[in-house]
Each structure stands twice: as C-alpha cells, then as structure tokens.
Chain A
Amino acid sequence: MMERFSNPVLSKELKLRFRAFKSFSGLMFYLAVLCIFVAGFLLIYTRFSGTAFFRPSDSFTMFVALSVIQMGLVMFITPGLTAGSISTEREKQTLNILLTTTQSSTQIIGGKLLSSVAFLILMLIAGLPLYSLVFLFGGVSPSQLITIFLFYLVTLIAIGSIGIMFSTITKKTIVSMIATYGAMIFLGGITAFFFFIGISMEQMAIHSATGLAQNATPFSPITYFCAGINPGALIITILYPEMASSLESAVGISMPIWIVYLIFYTLLTVFCLFVAIRKLRANMKTNR
C-alpha cells in the first residue's frame, strides 16, 4: 500500500541530500546564525551581567527578530536548494535516463520539490529549540508561532516552485540560481520599494487636496497588492496586528493582506509547477 504512494525521486533525493556534507554544513551554518543571534540578544538585554531582568516584552522582541531572521534565511536558502534540482541532473547527464523511465513529469517534479521542502522543514524544526527560549520567558502565544510557521511553509513551497521552474526551463544551474534570486529580490525588495512609494504618493495626494482633505479616503489597490505579496509586510502584520489596521486605513482596503498573500503564492506555486511539469519533457510533444 505504501509503495503505491512512494515517490522514487523523493526517496533518492532524500538519500543523496542526507549523505552530502554540504547538507550538514548548511544546517550547521543556519543553526549557528540563529544561536549567535539569540545569545547576542540575551547578552545585550541583560547587559552582559547575567543579573538583569528579561521581561516578556523583551522576549516578544526577540521572537520578532528571530522570526524575521529565519524568514531571511529561508528566502536565502530555498533557491539554493531548488534552483539546481533539474538543471544539475541535466548537467550531470542523468536527466535523459530519468526521463526514459515510466515516472511521469509530475512525479519527478513533485519528488524534487518535496525533497527540498522536507529539508527546509527539517531546518525549521531544528531551530525550534531556540524558539523554546522565547517561551521560557513568555510574551508569545503558541498560535503566533504556528501562524509564523504556516507562513514559512507557504513561502518556502512557493519559492521552491519558482526555483524548480527556472531549473527546468534554463539549461545551466547558475542561470537558474540568478533568476530565482532575482525573483526573490523582486518579491522581497522591489515590492517593498513600490509599497513605500505608493504610500508616500497617497499621503501627498491627501495632504495636497485642499478643502476635501478632511473627508478624503485613500484607495490604492496597487500599493495594497505590493504589501500583500511582500513576505516582510505579512510577517509584520502577523506579529503586530495593529500594523495591519494601519495598513488597511492607509490604502483604503479592509481585507487582511494574508488573504492576498495566500492566494497569490498559491497561484504562483501552481503556475510554476505547471510550467515545470510542461517543460520537463520539452522535446516531446506530449508530456506523459
């Protein structure tokens, strides 16, 4: 029964990944960054004395900073894990043999994505003991932690799909990496830039409108959309719900941005996986 649902590519990828030294070194680097940050944070807040107080509000600040750092690491590591998944097979001349097996393109792409996601989830879980320090001092609810981890999951699946798509449609891993990191910069940086420009223009428009200024209600769907697809904006609204209210009043749209985020990244994931599956056997007319 289990064999029916097993994915050979997934099993093979997991085996190869956990035998590779770079997986362990990557995990070690990731945990080292988090450990250094947590240790540094605690030392700074206790003024290196070990006798100062560590209040729940400080604990919450540490949780926020830890979450943002972890999000940055996820966005940095995910392209590295996925952007070479198909192109490396092509470069190593193993792809043609794989494509002559009876596995479907969906199985192959699915196996590649799941193996990367599994490793990233392992990384997130490996970082959980550091989060436990936050709970030791209080100030954060378990629901916030679960929400943050769900946010990570949606984000890393989407980024992973982008990486696999570029890996499938480009011949070289280096090109795929650049394209995937470029997409990350767009989603994380360019959208934030446009969001701030949009907000500024909206404020200027309201202030320059004489007479009607008191009654003017802002409406800026593009700015809202830029905020809605920006991982940084979403994580801030999750951690500080009052920021979500401010954003809604600033752009004049009352729908929570996590809905836009979820819809956009789900559609992006589906689109990228669809393209990857279609293009895997690019030289064949049928994709079976």
Chain B
Amino acid sequence: MVDIQGLTKKYGSFTALDHLELTLNEGVVFGFVGANGAGKSTTFSILATLLSPTSGDAYINGKSVVREPKEVRKQIGYMPDFFGVYDQLKADEYLDFYGASYGLSAAERKVLIPQLLELVNLTHKRYEYVDLLSRGMKQRLCLARSLIHDPKVLILDEPASGLDPRARVEMRDILKHLKSMGKTILISSHILPELAEMCDEIGVIDNGKLIAHGNVATIQEQLQGDKRIIVKVMNEMEKARAFFEENPMISSIEAIPENNELAFNYRGTTQEQVNLLREALLSGIPIYSLTEEEKDLEDVFMAITKGADAE
C-alpha cells in the first residue's frame, strides 16, 4: 500500500532524508519514531504531496507522489502536526467544505458528515463554531476531516501532541477503531508506549536514516545482546561474581550486596540464558531469583539512536 524507494530530501548541504526505504502492507498501523528534526515530518510532507523529494519516489496504492500527486491525494488523509481552522465556520460546515474540496456531492456530504462527527464523538458540537472547540476536539475534527473522502491511507503527524491525558486516550480509541476498519495508518508520535500498544510496525528514524524497522518485538530483539539481567544470590556473592565474570557474554557487572543482587549486561540468546542459569546452579551458586530488566520502547529508541550517533 505504501512503498518508499530511496527517498532523499536535501536542503542545500543539509540532508533531511537519506535514501529512505520502506514498504507497508494494507491495513498496517505504522509508528514512526524519531527525535525532533530526524525526518519524520519531511517524510510525511512528501507522502502528502506537499514537498518534492530531491531524489527517489514514494508510491501510495501504486500512485507516485512525484508524478501523480492528484491521484495520491485521493488515496490519503493527512493530518499535520500543526494546523489551523477557519474561525468563522461551524464544525459541519468545516467538514462540508473539505468534502466539497475532495469532489464529494452535496448529497454524499449530507450523509457522511453526521457519521464522521459520530465517529470522533463530536455530534453534540455539530453546529458550534470551530474556534470555540477545545484543542482535543479540534484534533478530532481534523481527523474526521482527513477521513471525509474515505482514504485508504492515513498520515497522522503527531496527532496526540498537546493533548491532555483524557483527550489522548480518546484519540487513541478512535485510531484503534480506524485500525479495525482496515485503514493503513502512518503515525508519528513522541508518546512511544502509546505507539507500542497501537502499532503493528515501528520505524525508527535518526538523522534522515531509517535505522530500525519491524514490529515492536523485533526491534526489542535487536537489543537482546544488551539486556540487563538481575540475579539474586543467597550469600556467596563473591563466588557468584567470579562465576559470571568468567562468561564472555557478560559485561558491566555491578554488585549490590545490601540487596543480594548482581546486575549485568548479557549478550546471549534466550537458550544461552537458560544454560547459564543451569550452569550457575550446578556450580553451587545459591541463586534464588533471576529477572530480566523490562525495556520499553523508549529504552529501545534511546539505545538505537545513541548507537546511530556513536557511528
């Protein structure tokens, strides 16, 4: 459904996007993660036909964003990170204007508008002026606007930014509903745990390069070699420390005697971890607990981008 091929965008000597390659199937919810200025909005602007790439191309449902922008616009619903509204329009008029802008007939708009307002929980605000709506309501109205022509692909740039927790939850619920409708959704967010919960695939972009792509578990797998293990040992801390220090896959051992804990980085697979535990017990080390430190998406992001910087 979305096929990005060697997408590059340069502003003078600055490279905002560097040969980005990405393929997304229909119905996938893709979370785009990256620091500010990493290239997320540039990618979305190109996909939304607002910006021409310096080289490369992107295809939405087989249509080129460079050569067939008008066809692409029929396929996408775009919600920018910052947007304004027309102050003097009411919510239904706002949707009506964009419906007409997408070439929908008055009869079609008349049927669609109440349905969309219901989808985003704004039926009660139908005849309110848009500028009187709260930030969260405006975000939801903008989302409804992006759906008015029933696009196959939704491009949502930071849809939850600036929202309070309640509005964020409401937005997330709507997105889940859209996912159930089979829409292909590209979403960027700084609220990484939210993406993890909602997205089928995650892409991490840093300095214009896609440095990781896959489902959340796959990306976490990339960090397996660096997982942090905490072992609790009854007495015999020194013996335990000496045993683990001999293992070449273990590094950065840290002892916390008051908690009977040894913490270390382990680079092995899950099976190797099982073997390590068995060997430790056979060596007479009284281990009564072995736990793996939980790494959420933020840790993954920090680790990956730190690695990219180091390169």
Does A217 have its Cβ within 8 Å of any Cβ on chain B?
Answer: no
Q: Which of B76-84, B169-177, B237-245, B296-304 contacts A (4 or more CB under 8 A)?
A: B76-84
Q: Are B66 and A96 in contact (CB under 8 A)?
A: no
By size class, the interface of chain B is 20 to 34
Q: Which of A7-15, A152-160, A198-206 contacts B (4 or more CB under 8 A)?
A: A7-15
- Known A-B contacts A15-B93, A92-B84, A94-B86; the reply to A101 vs B101 at CB < 8 A is yes
Quick one: which of A137-165 are within 8 Å of B by CB?
Answer: none
Contacts of A101 in B (CB 8 A): 73, 98, 101-102
Interface flags, B214-248, vs A, CB<8A=1, else 0: 00000000000000000000000000000000000
Does B132 have its Cβ within 8 Å of any Cβ on chain A?
Answer: no
Contacts of B73 in A (CB 8 A): 100-102
Q: Are A12 and B102 in contact (CB under 8 A)?
A: no
CA distance A283 to B49 in the complex (A): 9
Give which listed residue, A8, A20, A96, A288, contacts B80 with CB less than 8 A: A96
Interface flags, B125-153, vs A, CB<8A=1, else 0: 00000000000000000100100010000
Q: Are A15 and B88 in contact (CB under 8 A)?
A: yes
Does B48 have its Cβ within 8 Å of any Cβ on chain A?
Answer: yes
Q: Interface residues of B: mostly helix, strand, loop or mixed? A: loop
Of all chain B residues, the one with the shortest Cβ separation from A283 is: B51
Does B106 have its Cβ within 8 Å of any Cβ on chain A?
Answer: yes
Does A132 have its Cβ within 8 Å of any Cβ on chain B?
Answer: no
Quick one: which of B245-280 are within 8 Å of A by CB?
Answer: none
Q: Are A16 and B89 in contact (CB under 8 A)?
A: yes
Q: Separation in Å of the A20 CB from the closest CB of chain B?
A: 6
Interface flags, B89-112, vs A, CB<8A=1, else 0: 100010001101111011000000
CA distance A11 to B98 in the complex (A): 11
Quick one: which of B32-49 are within 8 Å of A by CB?
Answer: 45, 48-49
CA distance A141 to B273 in the complex (A): 102
CA distance A287 to B103 in the complex (A): 18
Q: Are A100 and B48 in contact (CB under 8 A)?
A: yes
- Known A-B contacts A8-B101, A102-B70, A103-B101; the reply to A97 vs B89 at CB < 8 A is no
Give which listed residue, A9, A19, A97, A98, contacts B88 with CB less than 8 A: A19
Quick one: which of A64-103 are within 8 Å of B by CB?
Answer: 92-94, 96-103
Q: How many residues of A contact B (CB 8 A)?
A: 28
Contacts of B49 in A (CB 8 A): 99-100, 284
Q: Separation in Å of the A17 CB from the closest CB of chain B?
A: 9
Contacts of B101 in A (CB 8 A): 8-9, 98, 101-103
Question: Which residues of chain A have a CB within 8 Å of any CB of chain B?
Answer: 3, 6, 8-9, 11-12, 15-16, 19-20, 92-94, 96-104, 281, 283-286, 288
A-B contact pairs, 21 of them (CB 8 A): A3-B106, A6-B100, A8-B101, A11-B100, A12-B86, A12-B97, A15-B89, A15-B93, A16-B88, A92-B86, A93-B80, A93-B83, A94-B84, A96-B80, A97-B98, A97-B142, A97-B145, A100-B48, A100-B49, A101-B98, A284-B69
Question: Which residues of chain B have a CB within 8 Å of any CB of chain A?
Answer: 45, 48-52, 66-67, 69-70, 73-74, 76, 78, 80, 82-86, 88-89, 93, 97-98, 100-103, 105-106, 142, 145, 149
Task: Please provide the 5 A-B residue pairs with the shortest distance between their CB atoms, ordered closest to farther.
Answer: A8-B100, A101-B101, A93-B84, A92-B84, A19-B88
